[in-house]
């Protein structure tokens, strides 16, 4: 995870992309029936983060990390036009998901640069982790990055966060460097960040792999009326 504004990717390209343009990449999903039965797996669908919903993301962020992003970090990301897909369960009201009854499963924040995307944040609500949602969010991000014409997807992850690193490696990311003492850590110490990169060239099959994750989710949802969980 990386704080907004702390990477070298081009901001002008971001501004050129514009938030409205990005929002149109994820048109609001039609409301779908909430899964009330515990035996049903949750139904995941997408929205783009909106100002009024940032408090909901913040609440998840604060439970997911010992050193979470602040509300200001989310607000800055929204203002900068970063791509902020949010994965929801249950029906979202047409006016937005800030106050609706749907559950926020997870979210991501990604910055578009020149032929590359920098992933700044990916988080799944601790109550919903380990059910494939993180993999689905990553797969969707890869699809989005390919659609923007990006050739590489970059991220930083704490050296100790082997769980997230396992997810990234399964999707084809490779560790390409280390940023020394990048993150705050306990007892006033600092922790290194592992820099990871995914090559996105459509010809090498990465897009196909992630397409398969998203397609599998969509097929399950069509057949059973709810997403994979
Ligand atoms: C990292 C995170 C986004 C993964 O999301 P998730 O929904 O829990 O993960 P998934 O269920 O999709 O699992 C995807 C992969 O992660 C890895 N993984 C998941 N749970 C794991 C666990 N308990 N131990 C080790 N690896 C695990 C596996 O490689 C798994 O792939 P597989 O199911 O094919 O074996 C989520 O755990 C999270 O938000 N953690 C806290 C915040 C964080 O660390 N974010 C990343 C910052 S860089």
Asked if residue 67 is part of any domain, the answer here is yes
Asked if residue 3 is part of any domain, the answer here is no
**DSSP H or E segment with residue 152:** strand 152-158
What are the structure tokens assigned to 3, written together?
């704080």
pTM for the predicted model, two decimal places: 0.81
Asked if residue 194 is part of any domain, the answer here is yes
Check: CB of residue 199 under 8 Å from CB of residue 176. no
Asked if residue 199 is part of any domain, the answer here is yes
3-state secondary structure of 226: coil
Dihedral in degrees, nearest 10, Cα atoms 92, 94, 98, 101: -30
Write down the pLDDT at residue 62: 98
Check: CB of residue 104 under 8 Å from CB of residue 122. no
What are the structure tokens assigned to 135, written together?
């993999």
Q: How far apart are CA 96 and CA 36, in angstroms?
A: 21
- Ligand 1 pocket test, candidate residues 63, 86, 118, 130, most atoms within 8 A of CB: 130
Q: What is the CATH number of the domain that holds 125?
A: 3.40.630.30
Asked if residue 113 is part of any domain, the answer here is yes
Q: From first to last of the 229 residues of the chain, give the pLDDT tens digit.
A: 788 866 544 333 333 333 333 334 433 433 333 322 222 334 567 888 888 889 999 999 999 999 999 999 999 999 999 999 999 887 656 556 766 678 899 999 999 999 999 999 999 999 999 999 999 999 989 989 999 999 999 999 999 999 999 999 999 999 999 999 999 999 999 999 999 999 987 666 666 666 677 677 667 666 665 544 3
Among 88, 84, 86, which residue's Cα sits nearest to residue 44? 88
3-state secondary structure of 116: strand
Torsions phi, psi for 149 (to 5 deg): 85, 15
Asked if residue 55 is part of any domain, the answer here is yes
Q: How far apart are CA 82 and CA 114, in angstroms?
A: 14
> Radius of gyration over alpha carbons of the chain, in Å?
17
Check: CB of residue 148 under 8 Å from CB of residue 113. no
Asked if residue 1 is part of any domain, the answer here is no
What is the extent of the structural domain holding 42?
11-224
For residue 95, how far is its CA from the centre of ligand 1 (angstroms)? 31
Asked if residue 66 is part of any domain, the answer here is yes
DSSP 8-state secondary structure symbol assigned to residue 186: G
Q: Considering 156, 182, 183, 223, which one is annotated as catalytic? A: 156
> Which amino acids bring their CB within 6 angstroms of ligand 1?
1, 64-65, 122-124, 129-135, 157, 161, 163-164, 166-167, 170
Q: How many domains does the chain have?
A: 1
For residue 213, how far is its CA from the centre of ligand 1 (angstroms)? 15
């Amino acid at each position: 995870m990386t704080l907004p504004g702390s990477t070298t990717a081009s901001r002008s390209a971001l501004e050129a992309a514009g938030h409205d343009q990005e929002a149109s990449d994820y048109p609001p999903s039609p409301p779908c029936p909430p899964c009330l039965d515990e035996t049903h797996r949750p139904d995941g669908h997408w929205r783009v983060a909106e100002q009024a919903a940032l408090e909901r993301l913040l609440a998840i962020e604060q439970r997911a990390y010992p050193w979470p992003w602040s509300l200001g970090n989310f607000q800055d990301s929204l203002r900068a036009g970063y791509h902020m897909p949010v994965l929801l369960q249950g029906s979202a009201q047409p006016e937005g998901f800030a106050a609706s009854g749907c559950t926020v499963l997870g979210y991501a924040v990604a910055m578009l640069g020149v032929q590359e995307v920098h992933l700044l944040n990916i988080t799944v609500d601790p109550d919903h982790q380990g059910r494939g949602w993180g993999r689905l969010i990553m797969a969707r991000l890869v699809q989005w990055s390919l659609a923007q014409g990006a050739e590489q997807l970059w991220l930083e992850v704490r050296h100790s966060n082997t769980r997230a690193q396992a997810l990234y490696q399964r999707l084809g990311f490779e560790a390409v460097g280390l940023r020394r003492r990048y993150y705050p850590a306990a007892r006033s110490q600092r922790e290194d960040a592992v820099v990871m990169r995914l090559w996105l060239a459509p010809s090498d099959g990465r897009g196909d792999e992630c397409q398969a994750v998203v397609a599998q989710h969509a097929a399950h949802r069509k057949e059973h009326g709810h997403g994979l969980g």
